[in-house]
Amino acid sequence: MPRPFLTHFRLEHHTLVIDLGKRQRVLSSAPRGGGLVRARHILNHQVMANPVPAPIPASKRRWDDPARRLGDVATQLAADRNCVALMTAVPLAQLVTLREESDGVWVEGFFTVGVANAVKAGEPAVGPNRGPVQPALGTINIILVTNARLSSSALVGAVQVATESKTAVLLSKNVPIWTGSPGAT
């Protein structure tokens, strides 16, 4: 029987709110709180796909400054504004959670997987006339929480392993890139 999650989390107003209980070291590429920071909360906020389609008058744009907007979301949800916050167009009803434990060390994962607009590393984005195009963005957000005390270099190594694992799964499942060709990474 799987053990219950030790990380406190909730889904509220289209947002996954993870509460680490106290400020912890977090390594992230998130638009809010990216880099190596100390944060108590990690948010994954659901947005519409392509939230800033052009042309929209500047006065009507809500996502011109994603970091600031995510700070506002944190405030609305009673989370610390000094949080780490990501965005996803994946409905949070499709949130995947996993927990693994071995010899007292555990890892808990929270995943939103958007592959409708998948890309292949190094593949140029070209249209039918061989001209450059900008495919709609899609994301796979991976949030891992562990009780292991990792050095900064071990945190970077963990990100590398997570990225390699994501790529291996995409390749093993033959996920196509946005053009329909095989090999999403």
Q: Which residues pair with 142 in a beta bridge?
A: 111
Q: Select from 49, 166, 171, 163 the least CA-distant residue to 181.
A: 171
Q: pLDDT tens digits, residue range 7-55?
A: 999 999 999 999 999 999 999 999 999 999 999 999 999 998 765 455 5
pLDDT, position 119: 80
DSSP structure string for 55-74 = S--GGG-S-SSHHHHHHHHH
Q: pLDDT tens digits, residue range 128-140?
A: 555 555 555 568 9
pLDDT, position 184: 85
pLDDT band at 59 (very low <50, low <70, confident <90, very high): low
| Residue ranges of domains in the chain | 8-172
| Over residues 163-177, mean pLDDT | 91
The pTM for the full model equals 0.85
